[in-house]
Chains A and B, each alone.
Chain A
Amino acid sequence: MEKIQYDYPALYSVPHRVHVGVVGSGDLEVLLEPSPDSRAHVVVNTSVDGFGATWKNVLDRFFLRFQGAASIEINDFGATPGTVMLRLEQAAEGLRV
Chain B
Amino acid sequence: MSTNAASRLDYRHFLERRSFIEMSARERVRAVLDSGSFRELLGPFDRIKSPWLPLQGIVAQADDGVVLARGTLDGKPALVAAIESAYQGGSMGEVSGAKIAGALERACDECSRGRLILPVLLFETGGVRLQEANLGLAAIAEIHAAIIALRRYVPVVGVIAGLVGCFGGMSLAAAMCTRLIVTRQARLGMNGPEVIEQEAGIEEFDAQDRELVWSVTGGEQRYAVGLADDLLEDDADAIAAAIRNAFREGPAPGRSTQIERYVDLLRSIDPNQPPDGKSLRTLWGRTPKP
Contact = CB atoms under 8 A, between A and B. Distances in A.
Q: Do the two chains belong together in a single complex? A: yes
Contact of A23 (B24, B45, B59): B59
B59 A31 contact: no
A45 B44 contact: no
B14 interface: no
B200 interface: no
Contacts of A77: 59
Interface string A12-46: 00000101001111010101010000000000011
A63 B278 CA distance: 59
B87 interface: yes
A46 B59 CA distance: 6
B43 A24 contact: no
Interface residues on A, range: 10 to 19
A27 B45 contact: no
B84 A29 contact: no
A64 interface: no
Contact of A31 (B45, B54, B86, B88): B45
A33 B44 contact: no
Contacts of B84: 22
A46 B57 CA distance: 9
Nearest to B57: A1
Interface in A50-97: 73, 75-77
A5 interface: no
B37 interface: no
Given A17-B45, A22-B84, A76 B62 contact: no
B269 interface: no
Given A47-B59, A75-B62, A76-B59, 6 more contacts: A17-B45, A22-B84, A22-B86, A23-B61, A45-B54, A45-B59
24 contacts: A1-B54, A1-B57, A1-B58, A1-B59, A19-B45, A22-B24, A22-B61, A22-B87, A23-B59, A23-B60, A23-B88, A29-B44, A31-B44, A31-B45, A33-B45, A45-B54, A45-B60, A47-B57, A47-B58, A75-B59, A75-B61, A75-B62, A76-B59, A77-B59
